[in-house]
Chain A
Amino acid sequence: MEPHSWIAISSLLISVITALFMIRGQKQDAKKDYAEELEARIAELEREIERHERRVEMLESQVKLLTAEKIALLAKLAGVDNR
């Protein structure tokens, strides 16, 4: 084989190998991007859960207050009825 033939063939081979490495790297990067995206979404959901939990706590304390108020009012009503 002439020297220029193997030079051309080996150059093509180097480029093919480079292209394969580029594709592999792109796939890895795509996976990394997807993982980062998922992590960001998870963090966002966790923040949302915390926010809802705080709201639930607030509502529960409101329910307690209202229940106490109701009990007090019922007691008052019972007192009025006894008279």
Chain B
Amino acid sequence: MTFLKNIGQWARLWESVQIAKYSLGKYIIGFACLLHIFWAAMLAIDQRAGNATALSIFFRIYNNRFWVVVWLLFVSVCASIFINFRARKIFNLKALSFLLLPQQIALSCSAMAGIHATIVQHYADGVARSWAHIGTDQLPVILTAILYTVACLETRRLPFKSNGTS
């Protein structure tokens, strides 16, 4: 019971903690945008980038390098448009947050591919390694997907007064 109480206290503390004047969600979203842009660029330069576990899932779905690059650029552009609109306070609609969802789908796919590779103990290109090795390797993408989801949920609160439309 005391343990649960402590967890509750920590949860409340975590909720109220603010380590900087400005919110950190934008950095997570910006990081994900950059990640997808770099993945798209690397894939455009060399098709072998598609052997990476995080990208292989898109190859399986689209079966075409061009469409994978287009998809990666599309999701990052959608999220960038959202940040741009929020930054300039134009179209301050809460519904704009849904522009973040394509990128969340992309990140979730990569994270799931990482989890799958960890479970079956081999990378998407067929290289067999221990679950601990693959799990450690794929953890950044999995955590990025989780953090991005949290950032998406946070964006439902407008940082400024709404103009009444949502």
Contact = CB atoms under 8 A, between A and B. Distances in A.
A33 B152 CA distance: 20
B109 interface: yes
A26 interface: yes
Main DSSP-derived SS at the B contact region: helix
A15 B101 contact: yes
A30 interface: yes
A31 to B, nearest CB: 11
Interface in A1-53: 2-4, 7-8, 10-12, 14-15, 18-19, 21-22, 25-26, 29-30, 33
Interface of A: 2-4, 7-8, 10-12, 14-15, 18-19, 21-22, 25-26, 29-30, 33
Interface of B: 57, 60-61, 94-95, 97-98, 101, 104-105, 108-109, 112-113, 116, 149, 152-153, 155-158, 162, 166
6 contacts: A10-B112, A14-B149, A15-B101, A18-B153, A21-B153, A22-B97
